[in-house]
Structure 1
Amino acid sequence: MRKRRNHDAGFKARVALEAVKGERTVSELAADYGVHPTMIHQWKKALLDGAADIFERGTKKTAEVDEDTVRSLHAKIGELAVANDFLSRKAQALGREMRRGMIERNHPVLSVGAQCRLLSISRSSFYYEPQGEAEMNLALMLLIDKQFLETPFYGVQQMTWHLRNEGHAVNVKRIRRLMRLMCLMPIFQKPDTSRPAKGHKTYPYLLGGLRVERPNQVWCADITYLPMRRGFLYLVAIMDWFTRKVLAWRISNTLEADFCVEALNEAIHRFGPPEIMNTDQGSQFTSFAWTDRLKRVGTRISMDGKGRCLDNIFIERLWRSLKYECVYLHAWETGSQAKAGVGRWITFYNYQRPHAAHGGQPPAVVYFNSIETDQQARRVA
């Protein structure tokens, strides 16, 4: 049996920095460093959340789980049954991966099984060494993504039948997991098509019956999956509803809200805040960081109703064009290649690609002409 590695702070920092760079997918990093993808997500988040502390002066900011608590728990793990109940209660406040990292294989007093019981994790999960996505699953994800663009009403069962008809031996369980990993939800009417994170507030849909007739009246945002040669990335885009212009975008190898907020900040800085922002009810768009930024600039928040197929249809059409005209024509190796390729296509889309909704004019031309016309009308008034 392979000996479990105890990762030190330097190792975690190196992996987290690689993840922040975005050059490689999480699957590639997990394979190269021999760690679980979930741990990479957590280390990246911890690095980003703690980066501000380096520059703070004076009182140190209190973390959700401070180091003193972790050290205290680690010290008490060698105590006898008197501390058993205390440790079990305290351990619940820590994440599973953090608790796994606290276990010492060669502890002088407690066995691995005893430490697992004290930290409220199963012994089997301690020894389990998960792997990244297999090549077969990555190939299936690409097939699912292409088919979903053609038939966005395919649910898990229909997608499974489709792949079986194409000669792939798959079951419902695998397709459900892969579609969740890709953030794909069918657009037909059904309950719970998009779930916010626990404790996040959702907002009503504000676009019903609304006549959108000028730029910056309504913006929309969404996240899609980008297949790579090895692994996958995620892309968020912010679009002006009236002109279909892409105002800002970001690529990330994880699904935290940070890269969405970065795109939002860029769009607001360059074009000013919109009157309404419409998104789905995903955890990135119900997070405090996203909603607080919109509230601070006076933007009203609108969220798609569950199972509604046309609430965010314009950005869904953007994904279809982007993937068939750009993504599927390349096999990008690194995040830099993906960013450069997507950036070139979005520039082409905004400034050169004729758009049917505008009589063949590109979205950016319509956007800036409409802004100029609106400003002239206001000066005359």
Structure 2
Amino acid sequence: MEQRNPRSRRHLCKLLGYSRQACYKQIKTEERSRMESGLLLAEVARIREVQPRAGGRKLLHMLQSYIREHKLKIGMDAFFELLREHDLLVSGRKRRVPRTTVSSHPYYKYANLVKGLTPVAPNQLWVSDITYIRLREGFAYLSLVTDAYSRKIVGFELSDRPSAKGCLTALKMALADNPSRDGQLIHHSDRGVQYCSGAYTGLLQGHRIAISMTQSGDPRENALAERVNGILKGELLQKRYKHHRQARPLIRAAIRIYNDDRPHSSINLLTPTSAHQGKGELKRLWKSRYKRDKEKEATADK
């Protein structure tokens, strides 16, 4: 380690017009600042190992007891500057996500048949949707068919493209696993090209299944499918998979957990597989945020 020369330091202080005492004090202050920064950065790294998306404000809040314990002094602006200098700020920009619904196409778009409809038995209403799964490089696309009464995922397929082929495979699985369907079954989806294609609508019509589609881009028109996507991706599919082959068996396992093990508050805390065996009204133990907001608005207007 290079030894500091006191004589050169005195000479430097003289050139800058500072006394030796002031110069030494400044050096000591800088050394302490570097030490404090190192302590904070080490603790930030420890927190980020568990919570990689923790932002600056949250980090500073979590560090308060550590700062007091080590008698550190740092404000919010200085802390954000420290994170910025070491490229540790969490970007607020939205990540690029693939488009799964393309509704600008020449195929016929069907009317919405399910407004106000509440199924009271399995296989009265199926809802379909496509969601993306992040891979290490790129995306895979998960096509789902869900029974609206039981919340059971009755058909699914993981594809490397958001084409009609994956949707058709998921629908064929649902049809094969539910051969006995009492009464009229309705299939509801968005107006994406996959669901409007001749192959897909032809398969539905061949099995005498009524076709229903959303009439706008409002996600509430296909809210159940959106909810299922959210549960799978938010609770069971948080890992980023290396490639399509690795993702396929793990997604199959996640769907089995969703269907067989996870109780749902929307079906009286039954699992979807259990609910799919019965019929009759199922008690919902939660209220949607949209309905809560509407009720608050109505109360406020009184």
1:355 pairs, out of 264, 267, 284, with 264
1:284 partnered with 2:194: yes
2:187 and 2:205 map into 1 onto residues whose CA distance is 10
1:195 and 1:167 map into 2 onto residues whose CA distance is 29
Q: Which has the larger radius of gyration?
A: 2
1:321 partnered with 2:237: no
Identity %: 28
Q: Which residue of 2 aligns with 1:253?
A: 160
Q: Which residue of 2 aligns with 1:66?
A: none
Q: Which residue of 2 aligns with 1:89?
A: none
User: What pairs up with 1:1-381 in 2 under 5 angstroms?
Assistant: 167=91, 178-179=96-97, 181-183=98-100, 195-272=102-179, 275-328=185-238, 330-370=239-279
Deviation at 1:169, TM superposition (A): 6.8
Quick check: 2:122–2:278 contact (8 Å CA) kept in 1?
Answer: no
Residue identity opposite 2:271 in structure 1? P
Residue identity opposite 1:316 in structure 2? E
The verdict on how the C-alpha distance between 1:338 and 1:195 changes in structure 2, with shifts beyond 3 A counting, is closer
Root mean square deviation, CA, Å: 2.2
The verdict on how the C-alpha distance between 1:169 and 1:335 changes in structure 2, with shifts beyond 3 A counting, is closer
Deviation at 1:327, TM superposition (A): 2.0
Quick check: 1:234–1:253 contact (8 Å CA) kept in 2?
Answer: yes
2:189 and 2:111 map into 1 onto residues whose CA distance is 11
2:217 and 2:190 map into 1 onto residues whose CA distance is 10
SS at match of 1:311: helix
Quick check: 2:120–2:279 contact (8 Å CA) kept in 1?
Answer: no
2:157 and 2:210 map into 1 onto residues whose CA distance is 23
1:169 and 1:370 map into 2 onto residues whose CA distance is 46
2:209 and 2:128 map into 1 onto residues whose CA distance is 14
Query: TM-score scaled to structure 2, two decimals?
Result: 0.58
Deviation at 1:197, TM superposition (A): 4.7
Quick check: 2:121–2:279 contact (8 Å CA) kept in 1?
Answer: yes
2:123 and 2:270 map into 1 onto residues whose CA distance is 18
1:319 and 1:312 map into 2 onto residues whose CA distance is 11
Query: TM-score scaled to structure 1, two decimals?
Result: 0.47
SS at match of 2:278: helix
2:123 and 2:165 map into 1 onto residues whose CA distance is 23
Deviation at 1:195, TM superposition (A): 4.5
1:349 and 1:230 map into 2 onto residues whose CA distance is 26
1:211 and 1:369 map into 2 onto residues whose CA distance is 15
The verdict on how the C-alpha distance between 1:208 and 1:169 changes in structure 2, with shifts beyond 3 A counting, is closer
Structure 1: where are the runs of 5+ without partners? 1-142, 144-164, 184-193, 372-381
The verdict on how the C-alpha distance between 1:279 and 1:169 changes in structure 2, with shifts beyond 3 A counting, is closer
2:255 and 2:211 map into 1 onto residues whose CA distance is 25
Q: Which residue of 1 aligns with 2:49?
A: none
